[in-house]
Amino acid sequence: MSFPESLHAAYDVIVIGAGPAGLAAAATTAEAGLRTLLVDENSAPGGQIYRAITTSPLKNSSILGKDYEAGNDLVHTFEKSGADRLAGCTVWSLDRERVVGLSCGGEARLIKAERVIIATGAMERPFPIPGWTLPGVMTIGAGQTLLKSSGLIPSGRLALAGQGPLLWLYAAQILRAGGHIAAIFDTTPLANYISAALHLPGFIFSPYWTKGLGLIREVKRAVKIVTGVTRLEAQGKNKLQTLVWEAGSRTGSIDLDVLMLHQGVVPHVNLAMAAGIKHEWDAIQLCFRPVLDESGNSSIKGIMIAGDGAGIGGAESAAERGRLAAIDTVANLRPDALAQIPSRDNVRNRLAQTMRGRAFLDHLYRPSKVFRIPQDASTIVCRCEEITAGEIRASIAIGATGPNQLKAYRRTGMGPCQGRLCSLTVTELMADERGKSPEEIGYYRLRSPVKPISLAELASIPQDETAIKAVVRG
Amino acid sequence: MFKRATNHQEPAVQITVDGLPVTARRGDTVSAAILTAGCVEPYRYTAVNGTPRAPYCMMGVCFDCLVTIDGIGNRQGCLIPVSDGMVITRQNGKREIES
Amino acid sequence: MQTADVIIVGGGIHGCSTALHLTLRGLKPILIEKDYAGRHASGVNAGGVRQLMRHIAEIPLSIRSMDIWEKIQDLVEDDCGFDSHGQVLVAEDESELAPMRDRVAELNLRGFNHEELIDAEELRRLVPAVAESCPGGVVSRRDGAANPAQTTTAFRRMAERRGARIIEGVRVDTIKRDGGHWYVTAGSEVYSAPVLVNAAGAWGGKLAAILGEPVPLEVVAPMLMITSRVPTFIKPVVILRGRKLSFKQFENGTVMIGGGYLGRAYPDTNETDLDWTQLKNNARTVWDLFPIMREATIVRAWAGIEAKMPDDIPVLGPSRKHDGLFHQFGFSLHGFQLGPGTGDIMAELIATGNTNISLEAFRPDRFETADIGDKHEH
């Protein structure tokens, strides 16, 4: 894969990410006649939720479920829309002039757009427990990716730990695919059931209610569940061997080959932050999210954010938010084409429907503090640079005040993942330790390249590019 | 660490991992192929302390899936599909480029 | 109102070093920093600890600083990540080597022996990975590099421990002089002292102008890139003059690539722009000169906000307008190595009224015949 000859030097719209928000946004702007490019780092469209929707070896819906099939319509509509698509292409920079740095097949380009719609979705919240870096420990999302794209299930003894709808969905999928789960360790804090109960009425009328209960029942019939889990430790020499757990006063251990962790998803903010877009702390969802208007316009003119990257709302709302961003784009760049695409009011109404029940889920699956802020000093926080919670606390004690100052003491956030797997933990840990709010403590200052770019790729940028700037916070 | 849930008929793709022949399926990513092959563990050693690691997120954010593919180091194995004849080398500690 | 012996504006390496050295002379400084110590150029520069290729006027300063660098642990109880593997200026061809030969001869005549001309063989010994075609260069063997954020933080910490007051996250609003005292309003507080030091870096020009002593300072944003870890293949810092490059491999294997390519600075919002079309040229130079780096990946890039003077040397020493005012800014992309030494000299100057290092070349009024514009407003 490299850049096709047909690639234009500039586009009306560049959409970054081919999940539900990106597919819906790109299809809508292209249908309105705007020259649209959809860029995605995966080889097949679908994002995470509809991963491998066109290529999965699991051909019928008996394993992955009917909701997954909804991705087919999105891809189909996109393919008819006339938008260009670059698959297997990494976006490594975006600036306030809306110049997008792309690399593909060992080459790099800088391409400008009138509008950029960031649809880079969500990532799983870090789950820092002792031993989470051992081979054999991975996220439930990782397990589901392997299932969707290659039809793979874990071999050997498997346990799942954590909380959230994805845990139950994946457990059910593994069972339907003929897999076995030794145990599920549910970390949902018991107090969450009370705080969530206030939001129950909204949830009962949402589609999640019956589907969710059905899944949990399906799994509970076949798997041992330990509830109220308060501590997890993965042990092993060169790979996972044992999971030690505590649930209040109960304790136990279990020999395992694979442990999958999950405690919800958070917006994947790296690209938006590196572009200089303003973010704020979401005290309910416990994460940073971009400051946006109703259509998805960010603090930088011409850059919009749609889908879970704008704040977690799930796949169906992601598609609607993608359409809303696209409608705003068309209204600005080609208002005469508005008649050809869905009306703003219709999309808004559908969005409201898809958001029903969200508050209940947000409160029920709010992860507990002990799994967000590592209590054991030896727990690795920064996986790339192998920095522990104890080392970070020691740096705070001698003067590190925030994530950026911490870099003068420890190399946290300076490895290849650029803080994706440690930033929330570092922010919350420092806030907790210093008695401040996460908003006050802030986040790493992120910069392009948001993904590593090889020296060869950088050197391959054509000479004729005019002076083009990428924005970072100095 | 993983096995196939179905006997699906995707064509086989032949690759090598540290010189060992590995049969993958079209549509597998490099990481999926290595995790299924079983013959190459651990997946890699870190450059910082030389500790063993394997892919954690499989969606391009954790960078624990880094491998050398056809001589080019630090590729995200979880994002790159296998192709016939691909030569994959595990990254063991600081051996990111040959000196 | 809070009183002190000296008020320092700016918490970079220079402000923090001056604060520390003042405490060592028994004085009580207050340091006011609008962000946090080391937030800008001092925390994000390339970390070069270099005497090599300095302006003649800066050499005594640089040597005094080098003496401190070599005992940095004793001063700040932190190794600052300092290593001393030398710095090498590489000539890419014979035409670049000739002026180097002349310069080293001139330095020797003036009694400076830290720069040493080397032939192709010695160059290859010091920098085995450099392209075969390079005929030689200049080495300064005591030079090296340090971790800039770690260093600035260490100076800040030690200054505070020795009794300096460090006030961060507070911007200076007004400055008044009355009855031999400076009154500095910052945040909701007024600070007063007989002596004021302007160590405000890229913002030093603005401060000097407010104090009636404008200088033609340009605010710039030099860019740096860093690679993933690669096997150790180079010890000294390598610099080029023809094509712009500075190149340094750290102990952990990562390689820093710089050379003074400029992004764009926005000092009012603390933002900088990276210019990837320039960084591409930087990458090309590395590609040509170090074939071993061709498969390396760039993991991070950044730009810091710095001050640059038209003659590339700082504004350093007493004000020509006011008693009790000293300037210490405008280090023009190479102030990091000088930080420890200039702090020492500034403290000496403030405490004793004198220093044996000539600061004549750094006078703030040296530009008076030139056209002075406020260049940092874009």
In terms of CA atoms, which chain B residue is nearest residue C291?
B99
Q: Is A101 on the interface with C (CB under 8 A)?
A: yes
Measured between alpha carbons, how far is residue C64 from residues C54, C188, C316, C342 in Å?
A: 13, 39, 15, 8
Q: Is A60 on the interface with C (CB under 8 A)?
A: no
Q: What burial class does residue A82 get, using C-beta atoms within 10 Å of its C-beta: 0-12 exposed, 13-18 middle, 19+ buried?
A: middle
In terms of CA atoms, which chain A residue is nearest residue B6?
A151
Q: Do A408 and C293 touch (CB under 8 A)?
A: no
Among A458, A461, A474, select the one facing C221 at the smallest CB separation: A474
pLDDT at position C241: 79
Q: Do C252 and B48 touch (CB under 8 A)?
A: yes
Q: Which of B44, B9, B39 is nearest to B27 (CA)?
A: B9
C-beta separation of A258 from A158 below 8 A: yes
In terms of CA atoms, which chain C residue is nearest residue B99?
C231
C-beta separation of C41 from C25 below 8 A: no
Among B27, B38, B58, select the one facing A145 at the smallest CB separation: B58
Other residues' Cβ atoms within 10 Å of the Cβ of residue C218: 18
Q: What strands lie across the sheet with C172-178, from one edge to the other?
A: C2-3, C189-193, C181-186, C172-178
List CB contacts (< 8 A) between C228 and chain A.
Answer: 416, 452
**Residue C1 CA from chain centroid, whole number:** 33
Q: How far is C213 from chain A (nearest CA, A)?
A: 28
C-beta separation of C343 from C72 below 8 A: no
In terms of CA atoms, which chain B residue is nearest residue A124?
B57
Among A55, A124, A452, select the one facing B74 at the smallest CB separation: A452
Cα dihedral A422, A427, A431, A434, rounded to 10, equals 80
Q: Do B99 and C297 touch (CB under 8 A)?
A: no
Which chains are within 8 Å of C by 3+ CB pairs? Answer: A, B
- A264-276 burial, b for 16+ CB within 10 Å, e for fewer? bbbbbbbbbbbbb
Question: Measured between alpha carbons, how far is A345 from C317 in angstroms, rounded to an integer?
Answer: 67
**Residue C118 CA from chain centroid, whole number:** 26
Length of chain B in terms of residues written: 99
- C330 token code pair: 């405008």
Q: Is C179 on the interface with B (CB under 8 A)?
A: no
**Residue A63 CA from chain centroid, whole number:** 23
Question: Measured between alpha carbons, how far is A24 from A6 in angstroms, rounded to an integer?
Answer: 22
Q: How far is B27 from chain A (nearest CA, A)?
A: 7
Q: Do C300 and A414 touch (CB under 8 A)?
A: yes
Which residues does C130 contact at the CB level (< 8 Å), separation at least 6?
C90, C123, C124, C238, C289, C290
Q: Do A63 and B1 touch (CB under 8 A)?
A: no
Q: Do C293 and B97 touch (CB under 8 A)?
A: yes
In terms of CA atoms, which chain A residue is nearest residue C306?
A474
Average pLDDT over residues B64-84: 94
C-beta separation of A99 from A302 below 8 A: no
Q: Mutate which of C230, C286, C287, C293 to test chain B, going by most B C-beta atoms within 10 A?
A: C230
List CB contacts (< 8 A) between A41 and chain B.
Answer: 60, 79
List CB contacts (< 8 A) between A103 and chain B.
Answer: none
pLDDT at position C39: 94
- C35 token code pair: 């962000």
Q: Is the dihedral of CA C96, C101, C106, C112 positive or negative?
A: positive
pLDDT in tens, chain A (474 residues): 689 989 998 999 999 999 999 999 999 999 999 999 999 999 999 999 999 999 898 877 788 988 899 999 999 999 999 999 999 999 999 999 999 999 998 899 999 999 999 999 999 999 999 999 999 999 999 999 999 999 999 999 999 999 999 999 999 999 999 999 999 999 999 999 999 999 988 888 777 788 888 999 999 999 999 999 999 999 999 999 999 999 999 999 999 999 999 999 999 999 999 999 999 999 999 999 999 999 999 999 999 999 999 999 999 999 999 999 999 999 999 999 999 999 999 999 999 999 988 999 999 999 999 999 999 999 999 999 999 999 999 999 988 999 999 988 999 999 889 999 999 999 999 999 999 999 999 999 999 999 999 999 999 998 754 434 443 333
C-beta separation of C16 from C214 below 8 A: no
A315-333 and A66-80 helices, crossing angle to 10°: 20
Among B72, B73, B99, select the one facing C233 at the smallest CB separation: B99
User: Strand pairing partners for A247?
Assistant: A250
List CB contacts (< 8 A) between B45 and chain C.
Answer: none
Q: Which of B91, B97, B99, B98 is nearest to B43 (CA)?
A: B91
By DSSP bridging, strand A152-154 and strand B2-4 are antiparallel
Which residues does A448 contact at the CB level (< 8 Å), separation at least 6?
A92, A93, A94, A95, A101, A274, A470, A472, C274, C276, C301
Measured between alpha carbons, how far is residue A210 from residues A156, A194, A215, A218 in Å?
A: 32, 20, 9, 12
What ipTM, to 2 d.p.? Answer: 0.94
Q: Do A467 and C300 touch (CB under 8 A)?
A: no
Q: Do C296 and B97 touch (CB under 8 A)?
A: yes
List CB contacts (< 8 A) between A110 and chain C.
Answer: 276-277
pLDDT at position C231: 83
Measured between alpha carbons, how far is residue A354 from residues A17, A67, A119, A366, C91 in Å?
A: 21, 13, 18, 20, 65
Average pLDDT over residues B32-47: 92
Which residues does A362 contact at the CB level (< 8 Å), separation at least 6?
A199, A284, A285, A312
Q: How far is A424 from chain B (nearest CA, A)?
A: 14
List CB contacts (< 8 A) between A399 and chain C.
Answer: 153, 156-157
Among A95, A407, A408, select the one facing C273 at the smallest CB separation: A95
Measured between alpha carbons, how far is residue B6 from residues A56, A467, B10, C102 in Å?
A: 11, 53, 11, 76
How much of chain B exceeds pLDDT 70, in percent?
A: 92
List CB contacts (< 8 A) between A240 and chain B.
Answer: none
Q: Do C298 and A408 touch (CB under 8 A)?
A: no
pLDDT at position C371: 55
Among A401, A452, A470, select the one facing C273 at the smallest CB separation: A470
Domains of chain B: 12-90 (3.10.20.440)
Helices (H) then strands (E): counts for chain A? 18, 24
Q: Do A93 and C274 touch (CB under 8 A)?
A: yes
Tell me which DSSP letter residue A297 carries. Answer: B
pLDDT at position C222: 96
3-state secondary structure chain C: CEECCEEEECCCHHHHHHHHHHHHCCCCEEEEECCCCCCCHHHHCCCEECCCCCCHHHHHHHHHHHHHHCCHHHHHCCCCCCECCCEEEEECCHHHHHHHHHHHHHHHHCCCCCCEEEEHHHHHHHCCCCCCCCCEEEEECCCEECCHHHHHHHHHHHHHHCCCEEEECCCEEEEEEECCEEEEEECCEEEEECEEEECCHHHHHHHHHHCCCCCCCEEECEEEEEECCCCCCCCCEEEECCCCEEEEECCCCCEEEECCCECEEECCCCEEEEEHHHHHHHHHHHHHHCHHHCCCEEEEEEECCEEECCCCCCEEEECCCCCCEEEEECCCCCCCCCHHHHHHHHHHHHHHCCCCCCCHHHCHHHHCCCCCCCCCCC
Among C44, C227, C277, select the one facing A468 at the smallest CB separation: C277
Q: Do B47 and C253 touch (CB under 8 A)?
A: yes
Q: Mutate which of C277, C292, C295, C378 to test chain A, going by most A C-beta atoms within 10 A?
A: C277
C-beta separation of B93 from A173 below 8 A: no
Question: Measured between alpha carbons, how far is A24 from A77 in angstroms, rounded to an integer?
Answer: 8
Among A123, A134, A152, select the one facing B36 at the smallest CB separation: A152
- Indicate the residue type of A151: G
Q: Do C276 and A458 touch (CB under 8 A)?
A: yes
Q: Is A470 on the interface with C (CB under 8 A)?
A: yes
Q: Coil, strand, or helix at residue A435?
A: coil
Q: How far is B4 from chain C (nearest CA, A)?
A: 34
Half-sphere exposure of C29 (CA within 13 A, CB side): 38
The answer, yes or no, to whether residue B98 has pLDDT greater than 50, is: no
In terms of CA atoms, which chain B residue is nearest residue C252?
B48
Tell me which DSSP letter residue A352 carries. Answer: H
Q: Do B72 and A417 touch (CB under 8 A)?
A: no
Q: Is C286 on the interface with B (CB under 8 A)?
A: no
Q: Do C295 and B94 touch (CB under 8 A)?
A: no
Question: Measured between alpha carbons, how far is B34 from C25 in angstroms, rounded to an integer?
Answer: 64
Q: How far is C90 from chain B (nearest CA, A)?
A: 21
Other residues' Cβ atoms within 10 Å of the Cβ of residue A467: 9
Q: Do C295 and B71 touch (CB under 8 A)?
A: yes
Determine phi and psi for C278, rounding to 5 degrees. Answer: -80, -45
pLDDT at position A203: 84
Q: How far is A452 from chain B (nearest CA, A)?
A: 9
pLDDT in tens, chain C (378 residues): 999 999 999 999 999 999 999 999 999 999 999 999 999 999 999 999 999 999 999 999 999 999 999 999 999 999 999 999 999 999 999 999 999 999 999 999 999 999 999 999 999 999 998 888 899 999 999 999 999 999 999 999 999 999 999 999 999 999 999 999 999 999 999 999 999 999 999 999 999 999 999 999 999 999 999 998 888 889 999 999 788 999 999 888 899 999 999 998 999 999 998 999 899 999 999 988 888 888 889 999 999 999 999 999 999 999 999 999 999 999 999 999 999 999 999 999 999 999 999 999 999 999 986 555 544 444
Measured between alpha carbons, how far is residue C109 from residues C60, C65, C106, C140 in Å?
A: 15, 22, 5, 17
Q: Coil, strand, or helix at residue A231?
A: strand
Question: Measured between alpha carbons, how far is A467 from A95 in angstroms, rounded to an integer?
Answer: 13
- B72 token code pair: 């080019």
In terms of CA atoms, which chain C residue is nearest residue B75?
C297
Cα-Cα end-to-end distance for chain C: 36
C-beta separation of A17 from A314 below 8 A: no
